[in-house]
Amino acid sequence: MNIVLGVAGGIAAYKACHVVRLLKEQGHSVRVVPTEAALKFVGAPTWEALSGQPVATDVFDRVEEVQHVNVGHGADLVIVAPATADLLARARAGMGNDMLTATLLVTTCPVVYVPAMHTEMWLNPATQDNVATLRDRGAHVMEPASGRLTGADSGPGRLPEPADIVEYALSKAGETPPVGNHALAGTRVLISAGGTREPLDPVRYLGNRSSGKQGVALAQVALELGAHVTVCAANIASDVLEPIRGRATIVPVETTAELHEQCVAHGEKSDLIIMAAAVADYRPAEIAEHKMKKSGDDGMTLSLVQNPDILKDLVARFGDTKNIVGFAAETGTADDTPETLAQQKLLRKGCRALVFNSVAQGAVFGDDATSVIVYERHGSQVRELVRASGSKQEVSRVVMESVAQLLPS
């Protein structure tokens, strides 16, 4: 594995030398990218001797090799240890004014930040907000250890031990075998979750009752089964996302168009796509520039246009190269039961399988319990794969384990 080890300017930089050694002993290629401040603690010759690779700190170093782009492009994992308060702030702001931050901007591989700083810096609201934002964007931020800091101070903010850093970082790159059932080990899973919102004006929107709990529960189970998980999160509250924060890549979206764009982009890199989000079928033809006011007693007429059919488009784009699972929340009609409508949807969309639940009288949305039927498509035929009832976590486990059986060995 090609690993970039970023080193920020803190006294804990000396511990990063041991991180390099441990990674090299495990057979990984390590490229050290220190900041200028880091070189005041450990010099470039030390990093080059330990890694066996040249060190660059400035975006203008070896310009002919386009290092500020190529180093990040070639990485399978980026670790920043220590990650100082300054580095976390610059990474959150998307700055690229040195080799390390430029690398962070261009890389698409897992990124692990290992903070090290004084307790007051770590607990400062600005730092905590920066960490939360980086986690929301899909980065992994390891919790600092507690103990003796520089001088006589003690508290949270100490750099974890090198062996713990290596174990944590490699696990985020899929190097640590999952414990127990690992039916999805190494599988790249994309899950859409939550409910899209279509703005009417700067204040109002058309939306639905979805909380995103089911999609997040599916992501939790997929992680436990060893998958690399990306969640396109449509308007999901922060507390609902907390169980997967720092473990899954979270891509926040608001509208159906945004969800469509992100699902296409991340679907390209996924082996399994699960469309659990409640998607708005229509959006306003026009969005009012200002808050709409009452115009009398005659009410209001809204003109709506149809949104893209995300599930059908993904099936059309990826065909049999991806395993795509849809969701159907049905209430039934005077002519058809909810189950019949779900089976018809599976055939109409053309996806591999579909998870059905009844939402009559607003059931399921926001609740902690649910009941589902998983249908599998065989050509023009539909068969029931499994039924499950219970907490959304329990149901998600049944769904994910049944879906895992559909994947190639």
- pLDDT for the residue 180: 47
Is there a binding annotation on residue 281? Answer: yes
- From the list 70, 97, 208, 235, the catalytic residue is 208
pLDDT band with cut points at 50, 70 and 90 for residue 179: very low
Is there a binding annotation on residue 79? Answer: no
pLDDT tens track for 128-150: 999 999 999 999 999 888 776 76
> What's the mean pLDDT in 357-386?
79
Is there a binding annotation on residue 178? Answer: no
Is 208 a residue of the active site?
Answer: yes
DSSP state of 40: G
User: Which residues lie across from 188 on neighbouring strands?
Assistant: 228
- pLDDT for the residue 56: 85
Q: Which residues of 211-237 are buried (b: 16+ CB within 10 A; e: fewer)?
A: bbbbbbbbbbbbbbbbbbbbbbbbbbe
Q: Assess whether pLDDT exceeds 60 at residue 300.
A: yes
> What's the mean pLDDT in 309-325?
91
Is there a binding annotation on residue 5? Answer: no
- pLDDT for the residue 341: 92
> What's the mean pLDDT in 152-174?
83
Side-chain half-sphere CA neighbours of 263 within 13 A: 34
Encoding tokens for residue 173? 């790159």
Is there a binding annotation on residue 60? Answer: no
Q: Assess whether pLDDT exceeds 70 at residue 1.
A: yes
- pLDDT for the residue 337: 86
Encoding tokens for residue 280? 């708005």
- pLDDT for the residue 366: 54
Is there a binding annotation on residue 40? Answer: no
Q: What are the CA-CA distances from residue 263 to residues 102, 190, 253, 267 (Å)?
A: 26, 8, 10, 5
Q: Assess whether pLDDT exceeds 70 at residue 65.
A: no
94 Rama class: left (phi>0) / alpha (psi -120 to 50) / beta: left
Is there a binding annotation on residue 308? Answer: yes
- pLDDT for the residue 66: 61
Which candidate, 278, 290, 241, 284, places its Cα nearest to that of 359? 278
Q: State the CB neighbour count (10 A cutoff) for residue 384.
A: 12
- pLDDT for the residue 131: 93
Helix (H, G, I), strand (E, B) or coil at 323: strand
pLDDT band with cut points at 50, 70 and 90 for residue 83: very high
Q: Assess whether pLDDT exceeds 90 at residue 309.
A: yes
pLDDT tens track for 338-352: 899 999 999 999 999
- pLDDT for the residue 176: 47
What residues contact residue 286 under an 8 Å CB cut-off, 6+ apart? Answer: 303
Q: CB of 23 within 8 A of CB of 11?
A: no
Q: CB of 314 within 8 A of CB of 336?
A: no
Q: CB of 391 within 8 A of CB of 362?
A: no
Distance CA 361, CA 331 (A): 8
> What's the mean pLDDT in 352-357?
92
Helix (H, G, I), strand (E, B) or coil at 69: helix
Distance CA 142, CA 6 (A): 15
Q: Assess whether pLDDT exceeds 80 at residue 210.
A: yes
pLDDT tens track for 319-335: 777 899 999 888 877 78
Is there a binding annotation on residue 273? Answer: no
The rounded radius of gyration (Å) of the Cα atoms in the chain is: 24
Check whether the bond before 202 is cis (ω within 30° of 0). no
> What's the mean pLDDT in 33-62?
89
Is there a binding annotation on residue 15? Answer: no
Distance CA 49, CA 101 (A): 23
- pLDDT for the residue 64: 62
For the chain, the helix, strand and coil percentages under 3-state DSSP, each to the nearest 5: 35, 25, 35
